[in-house]
Amino acid sequence: MEITLKLFATLGDYLPRELDGRKRVYNQLAIDVAEAMSVQAVIEKFNVPPAMAHLVLVNGVFVPRNARATRLLHPGDELAVWPPIAGG
């Protein structure tokens, strides 16, 4: 099934420029994943360190860290991941 993965800020380094003939556009890439794949499994597939996956949203809805292993993805979902951000 196809989903869109978006990795923001420094996490963009974990997103390949091309995968399975598809090219990323800025910070996003359409990817094929197994049916009923979890949010956590996709994050791990792209080797994003767990501590760096700070803010995670599916279709704009926050997924807490303790729900990522059980939150399953569906065709057309958009998974967005941000690292911790500091400012002042």
> What single-letter amino acid sits at 47?
N
Beta 78-82 vs 55-58: how paired, if at all? antiparallel
- 57 and 20 Cβ atoms separated by less than 8 Å: no
pTM of the model: 0.91
- How many domains does the chain fold into? 1
Any idea what the CATH number is for the domain that residue 61 is in? 3.10.20.30
Q: Please report the pLDDT score of residue 24 as a whole number.
A: 82
Alpha carbon distance 74, 61 (integer Å)? 14
Any bridge partners for residue 18, and if so which?
23
Report residues of the chain scoring pLDDT below 70: 87-88
State which residues form the domain around 55: 2-82
**Residue 88 forms part of a structural domain:** no
Q: Please report the pLDDT score of residue 87 as a whole number.
A: 65
Q: Please report the pLDDT score of residue 25 as a whole number.
A: 85
Which three-class secondary structure state does DSSP give residue 22? Answer: strand
Q: Please report the pLDDT score of residue 18 as a whole number.
A: 79
**Residue 56 forms part of a structural domain:** yes
